[in-house]
A and B are shown apart, each in its own frame.
Chain A
Amino acid sequence: MRTAARGWFVVATLLLALVPLAGLPAFYESFLYLIFYWIVLATSWNILSGYSGYFSFGHGAFFGVGMYTTAVLSGKFDVPFLWTLPVAALLAALFGLGIGAVVFRVRSMRGELFALLTLAVTFVLATIVLNTPIDGGPGVYLSAVPLPKLAESPSSTFYLLALALTMICLWVAYEIYHSRLGTGLFAIHDDEDVAEVLGVPTFRYKLAAFGVSCAFAGVAGAIHALFVSYVTVGETFAIAVPLNVVLMSVLGGSRHWLGPAIGATVVTALLYAFTAGDYAVAGRALVGLILILVILFMPEGILGQILKRLKQRSRAAGAAAAARVPAAAVANGTINVAAPAAPGVAPIAAAPAPKGGVLLRVRGVEKTFFGLQALADVDMEVREGEILGLVGPNGSGKSTMINVVSGHYRATRGQILFRGRELVGLPAHRVAREGIARTYQIPRPFAHLTVLDNVALTAMFGRQTLRRAEAEREARRWLEFTGLAAKHDALPDELNLHQRKFLEFARTLAARPGLLFLDEVLSGLTPPEIDAAMRLIRSIRDQGTSIVFVEHVMRAVMELTDRVVVLSYGRVIAEGNPAEVMRRPEVVTAYLGKPHVAADRAHV
């Protein structure tokens, strides 16, 4: 499919490259140039902002870096124009990477804060350019810079330059969209913490997207500098640039690689139609109105809306086909409806070690939050092939323990060894690569990814790092295993709680972890659902994955676990055989409090 797409790209580029031969008036070529120019700006913006959800209002700054690179190099130092293009790309990318390296280290830097921060960066840059010899105030004239002769007329040359850049930019957006990077970015968009814990190197991916995005904006600026031939701070860093870019992308659909291009074409054509007819003001008002209506009535954009319709239609057709499957096939087990155990599934852990060896060793681990001690000097170990119950009253530190081992929190002190490797200090995605996975008490699926994509993601980023096609095959296997195969095309919103919990299972299993943390997977389930989940947990262990089972449902703890560790106020207070440990007085006290009645009687 991607080879076919490549073919279409080449054909489209060649056809569009023939346009100058038609001898159109310069007016039309300039109009097409403007469309291409906005397509590049909107598409490059989307590679960071649409894909990862970090909405930047600083695109004007990155575009401006490119514009002034060319203005200074060509306008003041007579560097040939074409040579300035790679320099513009490089400088803009470096500028973006520098900002990203600082900003992306700040947790909770999301959404509107990132938008305002990038906007502020734009104004700071504008002030510096205005007050230093880069510009100095009067603007830079480029009318004396020779234009490379790629075609007969200047307008054709600009057309061809912009066409080449547009096609490269769209191509890169398309490739990223279908690559690991793209998959990771969309996961970051929905839930960055979960993405990291599942193995997505979030920091690096955001930086990569930022760098690519800025580079294209830089080249677009470089070409545009010569096109307008007079560069000023006021025009370059105007708020109109980022706002138009956001508008175009949202209008077209920012969750698709082609969306911004569609939005850019529509908006540019609209504005141009009105400017040409002396109704520029009305044109602007109309664009504002369209923006409002689109957000209110089709928040996924034009392309998003169309794709959704198409999908609904094809799913309706699919459902009709499924309804024709004879009931007998379901009855005799040919088609597996909801039974969790699926025979013939390969073992989860690649090399199940002999039972009994120590898999995870936690030594003297301590975790404090602003002076509050959540874990104090915790020692525990998980052995190969066991189900270890981790229990304790609410607030005893069970969830903190999971977060510390999985790398979401960094232990304040202590050592965590997994198969002899130190985990403390590793970022969460590296811990995931080592083969540790977790589920969330309240399921946290990626809301905009289908059930299949949710599961395929961990097969791509967890311990296995499969390619996309293999990952999907792997994902189908685990959906089968958890009885969700029929729902593979649904969005998580369409699942009930039980199914969402099983989706959490499938998602962690697709990573084929050596050690799996289950955080209260049974809470909120009905008794029959609990039975099904317990069968599933047993069959996961039987395939070689060790399990740490955090649970309040005592029946399940007693039946499933080989050993239990009891936490209270962040300390281990008991450890051993479940039936024996849960009867110990200190454990009973931790759960139920001191037996006051007995104490009172003693006083009397």
Chain B
Amino acid sequence: MTVPSFNLLAQSVLSGIFIGALYGLLGLGLSLSWGMLRQINLAHFALAFLGAYLTYQLGASFHMDPMLTLALIVPSFFALGVAMQWVFARFAISAFNSMLVTFGVTVIIESLIQWIWTADYRKLESDYAVMKFKIGPLFVPVPELFTLLVAIALSLATWAALRYTDLGRAMRAAAEDAPIAAAFGVNERGLALLLSGLSAAFAGIAGMCLALSFTLAPSQIYAWVGVVFAAVMIGGLGNPLGPLVAGIFIGVSEAVTMALTAPAWAPLVSFSLLILVLLLRPEKL
């Protein structure tokens, strides 16, 4: 094992922070719906990819700015999330079954993507893609920086909303004990619809960020599942800041592992961490 130069290591840490921000952004909606609605939403990843492909298509066909696509993606994904929660509530789906149903949804979305965009790799061509600037010896790519800022903004906003607004307090009460909260006048069904809608909208936003810096293929949907789940669980369920912090922690550990050993060893870090968390404090989850 050769010790890499300081610059290389610093650049690795930086890229670890950026990829970690995307883990956190993908994990945010997942953590909310798992922690507060007791649903394990595998379809979150498929939704993010659907968002990414929409950003790609709108950019390719109409030269629409990726940021502008959010005006379309956020409301439509919000509606999708609400619809999904409506079905879940209607059939009183258990936590485990939610995982199976959303896997079914994932497979359908994946097929849809493959049918429309084929299994080939697609890459969004945008002005942002090549933008980067230098801080000292380090390169900072703009799309990744943008992702980091979005992740921080959304996580903080969600955290503050849950903590300081009446709506957020009602949501936490409903997550703690839905029937009791309902008895005190909290409209827990309405809140669940709202929360699920928000979670899906977050998936759409994460998808837009994904499209900015990654090539897309339908099979890539599954590549993110493990790491993001690790970030969500290490960060603590239902805690909006958790996925981002844990995501960056994982991202940096992976990047450093890659710099010190071979890139292919990176998954070992996140999954070993996840296993440790599961074994050492399962009661917290």
Contacts and interface: CB of A to CB of B under 8 A. Distances in A.
Given A106-B282, A295-B101, A287 B271 contact: no
B173 interface: no
Contacts of A391: none
Nearest to A246: B100
Contacts of A243: 103
Interface string A81-109: 00000000000000000000011001111
Interface string A39-82: 00000000000000001000000000000000000000000000
Which of B112, B229, B279 is the most central at the interface, judged by chain A CB atoms within 10 Å of its CB? B279
Contacts of B100: 246-247, 250, 291, 295
Looking at A55, A102, A281, which has the most chain B CB atoms within 10 Å of its CB?
A281
Nearest to B103: A243
B281 to A, nearest CB: 10
A199 to B, nearest CB: 26
Interface stretch (A3-11, A17-25, A113-121, A571-579): A113-121
A332 interface: no
A242 to B, nearest CB: 10
Considering residues B105, B107, B233, B279, which has the most beta carbons from chain A within 10 angstroms of its beta carbon? B107
A401 to B, nearest CB: 24
Given A124-B268, A284-B110, A295-B101, A103 B230 contact: no
B264 A116 contact: no
B182 interface: no
A286 B115 CA distance: 13
**Interface majority SS on A: helix, strand, loop or mixed?**
helix
A485 interface: no
Interface string A113-139: 101110111011011101100000100
Contact of A127 (B91, B101, B230, B271): B271
Interface in B242-284: 262, 264-268, 271-272, 274-275, 278-279, 282-283
Interface in A271-289: 281-282, 284-285, 287-289
B179 interface: no
B192 to A, nearest CB: 18
B267 A111 contact: no
B126 interface: no
Given A109-B282, A285-B112, A291-B104, A123 B267 contact: yes
Nearest to A105: B279
> In the complex, which of the residues A121, A250, A291 has the most CB atoms of chain B within 10 Å of its own CB atom?
A291
Contact of B107 (A102, A112, A287): A287
B190 interface: no
Interface residues of B, number: 42
Contacts of B274: 116-117, 120
A281 B229 contact: no
B112 A116 contact: no
A127 B107 contact: no
A116 B233 contact: yes
B79 interface: no
Interface string B87-128: 100010101110111011111101110110000000000000
A393 interface: no
B186 interface: no
A239 interface: yes
A508 to B, nearest CB: 29
B214 interface: no
B106 to A, nearest CB: 7
Interface string B203-247: 000000000000000000010011001100100000000000000
A294 B105 CA distance: 13
Nearest to A53: B96
Q: Is the interface of B mostly helix, strand, loop or mixed?
A: helix
Contacts of A131: 262, 264-265
A296 interface: yes
Contacts of A117: 274-275, 278-279
A291 B93 CA distance: 14
Contacts of A250: 100
A127 B264 CA distance: 7
A128 to B, nearest CB: 7
Contacts of B225: 239
A363 B105 CA distance: 59
Contacts of B82: none
B285 interface: yes
A292 interface: yes
B40 interface: yes
A268 B4 CA distance: 50
B278 A109 contact: yes
Nearest to B222: A239
A269 to B, nearest CB: 17
A291 B107 contact: yes
A284 B114 CA distance: 11
B91 to A, nearest CB: 5
Contacts of B279: 102-103, 106, 109, 117
B283 A108 contact: yes
A454 B40 CA distance: 32
A414 interface: no
Interface in A287-325: 287-292, 295-296, 299
B264 A137 contact: yes
A128 B40 CA distance: 28
Contacts of A246: 100
Contacts of B272: 124
Nearest to A128: B268
A288 B96 contact: no
* B93, B103, B114, B283: most-surrounded residue (chain A CB, <10 A): B103
Nearest to A124: B271
28 contacts: A106-B282, A109-B278, A109-B282, A116-B229, A117-B278, A119-B226, A119-B229, A120-B271, A120-B278, A123-B267, A124-B275, A127-B264, A127-B265, A127-B266, A127-B267, A127-B268, A128-B268, A137-B264, A243-B103, A247-B100, A250-B100, A285-B112, A288-B105, A288-B107, A288-B108, A291-B104, A291-B107, A295-B93
Closest 6 A-B residue pairs measured CB to CB?
A288-B107, A285-B111, A291-B104, A292-B104, A288-B104, A288-B108
Given A131-B265, A285-B111, 19 more contacts: A103-B279, A108-B282, A111-B95, A112-B95, A113-B278, A115-B99, A117-B278, A120-B278, A124-B267, A124-B268, A243-B103, A284-B111, A285-B115, A288-B104, A288-B106, A291-B103, A292-B108, A295-B101, A299-B97
